[in-house]
Structure 1
Amino acid sequence: MNDYSYENIYEELNVMSSAEGTEAAPVAGEPLPPLRRNRRFQLLWIGSTVGFLGGEAAEVTYPLVILAVTGSPAQAGLFAFVQLLAGVVLALPAGEVVDRWDCRRVLLLAEGGRALTAGSVAVALMAGHLTMVHLLVAAAVLGAGSAFGGPARMLVVRAVVPSSQLTAALTQEEVRNSAAGLAGPPLGGLLYGLKQILPFLFCSVSFAVSWFCVLIVRTPARITSSTADPAPENEAGGMLTGVKALWDDPVLRAATLAAIALNTAGAPLVLISTIILQRQHTPSWIIGTVMAGLALGGLAGAALVGPLHRRLRPGVLLVGVVVMQVPVFAALVLPFGPWWVMAVLGFAMLGVPALGVLIDVLVFRGVPDDRQGRVIAAASMLFGLGGPLGAVGAGLMLQYLSVSTTMLVFAAMLAIAGGYAASRKHLREAPWPIATDQSPLR
């Protein structure tokens, strides 16, 4: 690291506050104001909440409009595949970019691109010229927007939130995700039922709101690869720096592998639950309501983040969240009806927000500033790989094996992952990283 001291940052922030009207940084030794009074973070959060809501509303309607335009379920699957592929392929380059460039500008480009993309779909629908090629290009842009926007947003949040309030800020982000997941799909279906273009117009406007909120928030400078001391000659650089950092750190390595297993098993939960409910002759509207159990569980789990982080070490919490998923797969096959399935899905999500915040905190406080973007992007890519692997594996097993056997396979995989994590002494004994300063950059 270089000689860029936190005292220098304080001075820059105070000058910025006087010149631009932003709130002044706290004087050393004074208590920090509560997070709710952090105007910059709250503006970012409001913008991202609106953007996430619009994205969730449009996400559920893209398959509907593709079916209306082409009549092909395979084409709808191709859209999802292209969007996912773009996000995975661009994850590592995105990490390199946000570490070397102004992450706020990267976020502005990502939000602006997604706003224009959704708007273009609405205009094409209005003109009656929407084609599958247009939709596939939109899928690629949306995937790229997620790849670049995700780590950029995390670093922008990191730049305006003191380290001692980071857990609270990340918990508020988890609340946003769950709330958008709960409200977005029904809103998108309602808007689509009124008029096809409405969910895409809403999505475009929501990303524009997010873009504007990022635009008016001024963030302090952060250490990047271009300002940090040169890396040692024997250190791997470039896009693989994030992957190497995850692998070299025994705590991050074990946490990442356990989280991949959890994501692999969790990705097909909706598919598996849908098949179970269909075989119980459950009406489609009830199936849709049951899936809201995931978002409700996430909202309830967000309230548990603070207590769990205070009472449990990171490794113990991680092992607990993984192991508690094992009975979920056994409980789902019990023939107790749709509301039982909804309750099980809600239970499955209770520990997920705490786990998400756990990994974010370990990265933010344990990884040097000039590599955080690449490490976040690498983790996102690895977690993202678990999703399609789980979905494809579940589809094949459900095609050729019974539901009970499929559940047993996933339960066994989670048990193995939990056992592996529990056997890692470094992970079990790892303490929470300590916030040692009050700097907005720490």
Structure 2
Amino acid sequence: MSMLKETAATTAAQTGAGTEPAPVPPLKRNRDFRLLWLGAGVSQFGGRLSAVAYPMLMVWHGHSVTQAGMVAFAAQLPNLLVQLPAGVLVDRFDRRRLMILCDLAALLAMGALVTSLLLGVVWVPLVMAAAFVEGSAAIFYRLAERAAVRNVVHKDHLSSALSQNESRGHAAGLLGNPVSSALFTVLPWLPFALSGLGRIAAYLGLVAIRTEFQQPRRPDRRRDLRAEVAEGFHWLWGQRFMRAAVALVAGTNVLFQIMGLTLVVTVERAGGSPAVLGGIGIVSGIGGILGALSGSWWMKRFSPAAIMTAAFALWAVLMTSVAFTANPFALAALYAGMSGVGAAMNVTAGVYQARICPDELQGRAASFAVLASSGANSLGALSAGFLLAALGPAHTALGAGAVMALIVVVALASPAVRSGREVIG
């Protein structure tokens, strides 16, 4: 009898039965996440360098605002053409290899552009092609990385990981603008060269990661593109809270495009300079970083529905307040508040989707959400000029605040929004 007890105890010790689960190491000790975070950050920073340099290249060396618009169009076109196919391919193929191909494609595009500039040639079709390739690679990269995070970190660290990713994006934008401008002043090809070198660093980080970026795929999932796109759409449409959130956030994105141009006109009419706009942009970027870093804190205490509705309400107050001031310090504070609230909400949305969406649908779910935002951005940019010309910046800001207040009312009254009451942090 004692031997049986001893054998049972030995078996329990070997299998771990009756023992406490091993503690989860902190996120900062997750080597693979650190490599993924840093590599993606370097890649984002490189993309920001070239994005800022494109219009400067065409205006100062192409001597044509029309050509600058053509290059900007080529850079934005992937948002409409590539989003949905990218979502399918991110779910279908190995995500790490796809991200490596994105870095190589961007590196080749930057290499071709730098070579042309070193030869003293600014060839518009080549610049447009480089902008399109780089923009397309960025979409694939962003969707693949977002889907990979939940496989690289422990589920308890997901909100913190996505908070760090969101803050990284704001930091890349914050640093990319002045660095690109400074490099361009020295030599026009330097921002593109550094952008290409950043992709090499990102590639080295990716090949050093040991963790798989996706769960094992079933070998029978080779359907046509339309069927896989439809599968992602039907899943997203079947999620009541996400469906309502995407629609409402798309509406807010229209307003933010309007508020962005409102800021430019407000500063210009008050006698401010581009440097003033740059200073406001820096403060706004800092607000975004702080908001992103606080995202996981809010998620541990409030539901996605509460965070989203509160964000809409704060935006309504901040947008309306813009109508009553042209003071650059006040504007900086208001826009930093908008940026911080938006960053915290982006973290909430990312964690919510990552938690409830099956791994094989992560790319497609995200691509539909981003596509809705991209389309809304285009509508906002188109309407902003007409509204400002007809109403002026103060009345335009008041109108944006009123529409945002209406969105708050819709969110409060929506049963679909109220379905997202569970705290997921």
1:238 corresponds, among 228, 233, 237, to 228
Is the 1:276–1:333 contact (alpha carbons within 8 Å) kept by the matching residues of 2?
A: no
Matched, 1:191 2:187: no
Q: What is the one-letter code of the residue matched to 2:150?
A: R
- Of 332, 335, 338, the residue aligned with 2:325 is 335
Farther-moved stretch of structure 1 (200-209 vs 75-84)? 75-84
Map 1:40-439 onto structure 2 (within 5 A): 40-220=32-212, 222-223=214-215, 226-227=218-219, 237-432=227-422
Q: Is the 8 A contact 2:301 2:423 kept in 1?
A: no
Q: Measure how far apart 1:224 and its partner are.
A: 6.3
| Distance change (3 Å), C-alpha of 1:434 and 1:278 | closer
The residue that corresponds to 1:22 in the other structure is none
CA shift at 1:49, angstroms?
1.5
Write the letter of the residue equivalent to 2:364. R
Unaligned runs of 5+ in 2: 1-18
User: CA 1:432/1:206 → structure 2, altered by over 3 Å: closer, same or farther?
Assistant: farther
8 A Cα contact 2:276 2:328, kept in partner? yes
| Per-residue deviation, 1:185 | 0.3
Name the SS for the 2:122 alignment partner: coil
Name whichever of 358-367 and 417-426 sits farther off. Answer: 417-426
Paired with 2:406 and 2:216, the residues of 1 have a C-alpha distance of 38
After superposition, the CA RMSD in angstroms is 2.2
- Alpha-carbon distance in 2 for matches of 1:280, 1:230: 59
The letter for the 2-side match of 1:212 is: L
Q: What amino acid does structure 2 have at the position aligned with 1:343?
A: A
Deviation at 1:412, TM superposition (A): 2.7
Q: Distance in 2 between matches of 1:129 and 1:219?
A: 44
**1:317 Cα deviation after fit:** 0.4
Alpha-carbon distance in structure 2 between the residues aligned to 1:45 and 1:284: 32
Aligned-residue offset at 1:429: 4.3
CA contact (8 A) 2:164 2:293 kept: no
From the superposition, tell whether residues 52 and 147 of structure 1 become closer, same or farther in structure 2 (CA, over 3 Å): closer
Distance (Å, rounded) in 2 between the aligned partners of 1:84 and 1:262: 20
Deviation digits for residues 167-191 of structure 1, max 9, x if unmatched?
0000110110111111110011111
Kept after mapping to 1: 8 A contact 2:96/2:213: no
When structure 1 is superposed on structure 2, of 272-281 and 321-330 the one drifting more is 321-330
Whole-angstrom CA distance in 2 between matches of 1:28 and 1:136: 58
C-alpha distance in 2, partners of 1:55/1:138?
11
CA distance in 2 between partners of 1:134 and 1:66 (Å)? 12
**Against the structure 1 CA distance between its residues 230 and 388, is the aligned structure 2 distance closer, same or farther, given a 3 Å change threshold?**
closer
1:226 and 1:378, CA in 2 relative to 1: closer, same or farther beyond 3 A?
Answer: farther
- Which blocks of at least 5 consecutive residues in structure 1 are unaligned? 1-26, 436-442
**Alpha-carbon distance in 2 for matches of 1:391, 1:173:** 27
**Is the 8 Å Cα contact of residues 259 and 397 (structure 2) preserved in structure 1?**
no
**2: distance between equivalents of 1:376 and 1:246?**
9
TM-score, normalization by structure 1: 0.86
CA contact (8 A) 1:69 1:131 kept: no
Q: What is the letter of the counterpart of residue 358 of structure 1? A: T
> Identity over aligned residues, as a percent?
27
- Confirm or deny: 8 A CA contact 2:296 2:347 kept in the other structure: no
SS in 2 for 1:325: helix
Q: Which moved more, 1:418-427 or 1:366-375?
A: 418-427
The farther-off stretch of 78-87 and 375-384 is: 78-87
Contact 2:323 2:398 in 1 (8 A): no
SS at match of 2:49: helix
Structure 1 stretches of at least 4 aligned residues deviating more than 6 Å after TM superposition: 228-231
Code of the residue aligned with 1:137 in structure 2: it is A
Deviation at 1:201, TM superposition (A): 0.7
8 Å CA contact 1:100–1:226 kept in 2: the answer is no
Instruction: Return the alpha-carbon distance in structure 1 between the equivalents of residues 351 and 423 of structure 2.
Output: 8
- Residues 362 and 433 of structure 1 are in contact (CA less than 8 Å); yes or no, is this contact kept in structure 2? no
Distance (whole Å) between structure 2 residues aligned to residue 43 and residue 412 of structure 1: 44
Aligned CA distance change for structure 1 residues 214 and 221 (closer, same or farther; 3 Å): closer
Is the Cα–Cα contact under 8 Å of residues 365 and 433 in structure 1 kept in the other structure?
no
How many equivalent pairs are there? 405
Preserved CA contact (<8 Å) 1:258 1:322: no
Equivalent-residue separation in structure 2 for 1:33 and 1:172 (angstroms):
17
Larger radius of gyration: 2
Distance 1:386 1:224 in 2: 35
Say if 1:313 and 1:428, in contact at 8 Å, map to a contact too: no
Which residue type is aligned with residue 142 of structure 2?
Answer: G
